[in-house]
Amino acid sequence: MSEAEQIPASASEAAASAVLDALNATDSNGTEALNATAKFVATPEGTALAYGSLVFMALLPIFFGALRSVTCSKSKELGENDYDSGFRNAADMPETITSRDAARFPIIASCTLFGLYLFFKVFSQEYINLLLSVYFFVLGVLALSHTMSPLMSRVFPASFPNKQYQLLFTQGSGESKEEIVNYEFDTKNLVCLLISTVVGVWYLLKKHWIANNLFGLAFALNGVELLHLNNVSTGCILLGGLFVYDVFWVFGTNVMVTVAKSFEAPIKLVFPQDLLEKGLEASNFAMLGLGDIVIPGIFIALLLRFDVSLNKNSRTYFYSSFLAYIFGLGLTIFVMHTFKHAQPALLYLVPACVGFPVIIALFKGELTEMFRYEESSEETKEEATESEKKDQ
């Protein structure tokens, strides 16, 4: 595939990992990192299949991650630490992004991106990628295992001997004993972990694009599910900041291109454009960075939770933002092909995903209610507690 025919990606993966954030921006030149063969001119059928598959794969973690975020949010509000997807541990509970986090996020991502750029300039690319491969192997196995848990709960029959286990590490003794690790799991979780490990070994040994996509989809779904914006204003701050970040690093410098070409990790979804000619051994890929899925995805998930809070049996804002995402991603592809130049996807996704729901809320007279919607976080709880103490 020629350089002008590559899906761009923003560098902005979820807040849980600043490294993923800064590295998600994989533009057209990133193809060279995956394809060392001569330039390949894709057929119209191959191009349509690749782009269509990427769009479809991008929609899966957004849709299902948003649905799971609702269950996750309800579990958190009720103070429960267990539900269908295997939430038994504090590490699996949602992380709330506040306006302060959102404002700092583009700065942290920029520093991380530039730091990695310097690393690749100074140190051997081979050794850096070896360390990153091991790191993402561990993360990928855990993410894929967590993603599979709800499915396994439905697949296994009720008669399945599901034993409970607990991994506990403590420090000290007596009253000074402190928990370092307290992880509860069962037999079904072990089966998920075993399957995920097989996929991880496959990825480590072969770097196959299917294994890459399995890890990538798991990362994206977990990001949408577990990263919660506390309100719409925070979402606008985050998306607006990353909008500027994406445009600057794609159009203003070669830093993003250099990192994308050097970085080997499942931080993007890929699909071969020569699949019809070469089958599963195809090697000319179109790609989409996970940041272009997770960042709009957590905003769309927030709007779904807002829909649920209205108690109107309607999902107007969720479906409008979901359709806006499809429109924005389609517009990215169209502009890229028209001008024969890679485009930062958030340049089109952010206005679409924010603008569509806001316009609908304006017409329905619910704009104020939308921006007043607030989800509790540890930070807001602490502030409320301090305020109550002062009042007393």
Among 92, 101, 292, 307, the active-site one is: 292
Residue 69 to residue 304: CA distance in whole angstroms: 9
Are the C-beta atoms of 290 and 223 separated by less than 8 Å?
yes
Catalytic-labelled residue, pool 21, 27, 246, 307 = 246
| Residue 148: both structure tokens together | 């599979």
Q: How far, in Å, CA of 329 to CA of 52, rounded?
A: 11
User: If we measure between CA atoms, which residue out of 351, 345, 353, 376 comes closest to residue 55?
Assistant: 345
Beta strand spans in 30-148 (E): 95-97
Q: Are 258 and 125 in contact (CB under 8 A)?
A: no
Q: Is there a catalytic annotation at residue 391?
A: no
Residue 168: partners with Cβ closer than 8 Å, 6 or more residues away:
179, 181, 182, 183
Sign of dihedral through CA atoms 272, 49, 276, 274? negative
CB atoms within 10 A of CB 343: 25
Sorted by sequence, the CB contacts under 8 Å of residue 150 that are 6+ apart come out as 68, 84, 85, 86
Angle (CA) 253 258 47, round 5°: 100
C-alpha distances out from residue 325 to 14, 209, 217, 315, Å: 17, 24, 17, 15
- Between the alpha carbon of residue 19 and those of residues 132, 187, 235, the distances in Å are 10, 32, 20
Please name every residue paired with 95 in a beta bridge, in sequence order, or none if there are none: 227
For 206, the enclosing helix (H) or strand (E) is helix 187-206
Close Cβ partners of 206 (under 8 Å, ≥ 6 residues apart): none
Positions annotated as catalytic residues are 246, 292
